[in-house]
Chains A and B, each alone.
Chain A
Amino acid sequence: MLEQLQKLRQHLLTGVSYAIPFIACGGLLIATAIALAPMTPSGPDFSHAPRLQLISDIGSASFALMLPVLAGYISYSIAGKPGLVPGFLGGYLSGQVKAGFLGAILIGLVAGYIVEALKKIPVSKYLRPVMPILVIPITSGAIIGVLMLKVIGVPIALFMDHANRALAFMSTGNGVVLALILGAMIAFDMGGPVNKTAFFFGAAMISQGNYRIMGACAAAICTPPLGMGLATLIRKKLWSVEEQEAGLAAIAMGLIGITEGAIPFAAADPIRVIPSIIAGSAVAAAIAMAGGVGDHAPHGGPIVFFAVDHRFAYVFAIVAGTLLTALLIVLLKLRSNGFAEVEEDPA
């Protein structure tokens, strides 16, 4: 059972890994076009700016391709090459019926498992060559098409619509609670599966036109390495020479939004480090959410500064989270001083 779940996770993450660059391309191009166009009450006005319209159109195309790529590579991960046709078809149709990324993820999984089943059907060796080029693509494609267009597409689209509206009109209180959870998830395993779940939720919401979820994640992403790095600077004596070096590297990684920079510290001393970085990230995410921070790029940290709305709140959120993490870890280390100093950093 556990192994099955791990496999499932691996398939989903494979799809995600191929989809992320499409979100980056789409999100940043659209954000650039919107930022440079004159803003009107009904949204940005592209009527006198054909070049910006062009940039925005290219970004939209990248978003539109994200769904087939996501579903296609989830299916590919399960069933190999023959999984691509029904996966891409299902993802494309998911966009057409407005079932979004949720529809794409589901149909990608279904497509992969259908192809796996079709591959197992015993056929005579004379028929075998036509299986991958005719029978499997046509059969699986037809099944997936009918499923998406006639069965699961519409209910998922309705659900997505509700969820989007609920998230868009979320009260500040609920939003902050959601941000606290997402921030804690981002820090919990520093780039592992829990982190990626929160991150992909934020990234996928960008393609749904909601930038605030990613805004909260973006602030949380950088505070673990920044906070640990800061901690090595303000209390040098608490850290080994190796850890002080790792601290500088962590600051560099934090600046470019790579949570993994905190891993050497967490690996050496998980019981004190992980709670400190969770607290910092959760607070950073909550402040970002409350301050209306939106992030148009599926990435975090100071490096996405120009893709962010409400930049002052964003900077404030990062500074607050970083300080909190640094102070917590220094206090925890001081309290148990003695053996903390002799611990070696394995990296």
Chain B
Amino acid sequence: MKIVAVTACPTGIAHTYMAAARLEKTAKNFGHEIKVETQGAMGIENKLTESDIRQAQIAIFAVDIEVEGKERFHGVKVIQVPLQDALKNPEGIFSKIQR
């Protein structure tokens, strides 16, 4: 499955990137293709392009703050979870998707 994801935490220096790494690792284990955009203190990095989003079957928001550029995700199925979930139980997120 093709997946896009956004991670963001209030300070944007540690959690944001740790969550992105966990999502990438777990997606690989599940055999999914994933691209994760980080919205940290440095602003948006690894930005999801329009075609990334259009091709994705699902978007994961693992965020504690408002996602920047939410309107880009119109027409894509979005699931939003607290950032902690991506850190502590990323497997749970993916098994939820598969159901």
A: residues with CB less than 8 A from B are: 6, 9-11, 13-14, 16-17, 20-21, 76-77, 189, 191-193, 196, 253, 258, 260-261, 263, 267
- Chain B nearest CB, measured from A43 CB (Å): 31
Could you jot down 22 A-B contacts, CB within 8 Å? A6-B82, A9-B64, A10-B63, A11-B66, A14-B10, A14-B66, A16-B10, A17-B8, A17-B41, A20-B10, A20-B11, A21-B41, A77-B65, A77-B66, A191-B9, A191-B11, A192-B84, A196-B10, A261-B14, A263-B18, A263-B87, A267-B88
Residues in chain B near residue A191, CB distance under 8 A: 9, 11, 14-15
Measured as residues with beta carbon below 8 angstroms from the partner, the interface class of chain B is 10 to 19
- Chain A nearest CB, measured from B60 CB (Å): 16
Closest to A258 in B: B14
Measured CA separation A76–B88 after assembly (Å): 29
Residues in chain B near residue A20, CB distance under 8 A: 10-11, 41
Residues in chain A near residue B88, CB distance under 8 A: 267
- Chain B nearest CB, measured from A303 CB (Å): 12
Residues in chain A near residue B82, CB distance under 8 A: 6
A267-B65 CB under 8 A given contacts A191-B9, A260-B15: no
Interface hits, B60-99 → A, CB 8 Å: 63-66, 82, 84, 87-88
Q: Are A13 and B87 in contact (CB under 8 A)?
A: no
Measured CA separation A196–B88 after assembly (Å): 18
- Chain A nearest CB, measured from B63 CB (Å): 8
- Chain A nearest CB, measured from B18 CB (Å): 7
Q: Are A13 and B14 in contact (CB under 8 A)?
A: no
Measured CA separation A146–B84 after assembly (Å): 40
Q: Are B14 and A10 in contact (CB under 8 A)?
A: no
A10-B18 CB under 8 A given contacts A17-B10, A20-B11, A21-B41: no
Q: Are B13 and A258 in contact (CB under 8 A)?
A: yes
Q: Are B65 and A17 in contact (CB under 8 A)?
A: yes
Measured CA separation A258–B16 after assembly (Å): 13
Q: Are B14 and A17 in contact (CB under 8 A)?
A: no
Residues in chain B near residue A196, CB distance under 8 A: 10-11
- Chain B nearest CB, measured from A187 CB (Å): 15
Interface hits, B1-38 → A, CB 8 Å: 8-15, 18
* A192-B84, A196-B10, A267-B87 known, 16 other contacts, Cβ within 8 Å: A6-B82, A10-B63, A10-B64, A11-B66, A13-B10, A13-B64, A14-B10, A17-B8, A17-B10, A17-B41, A17-B65, A21-B41, A191-B11, A196-B11, A253-B14, A263-B18
Measured CA separation A253–B63 after assembly (Å): 22
A260-B18 CB under 8 A given contacts A13-B10, A191-B11: yes
Measured CA separation A180–B18 after assembly (Å): 28
Measured CA separation A191–B16 after assembly (Å): 11
Q: Are B15 and A17 in contact (CB under 8 A)?
A: no
- Chain B nearest CB, measured from A296 CB (Å): 18
Measured CA separation A16–B64 after assembly (Å): 11
Measured CA separation A244–B82 after assembly (Å): 28
Measured CA separation A196–B18 after assembly (Å): 17
Residues in chain B near residue A77, CB distance under 8 A: 65-66
Contact partner of A260 among B8, B10, B14, B64, CB < 8 A?
A: B14
Residues in chain A near residue B87, CB distance under 8 A: 263, 267
Contact partner of A17 among B12, B18, B84, CB < 8 A?
A: B12
A193-B18 CB under 8 A given contacts A17-B11, A267-B87: no
Residues in chain B near residue A11, CB distance under 8 A: 66
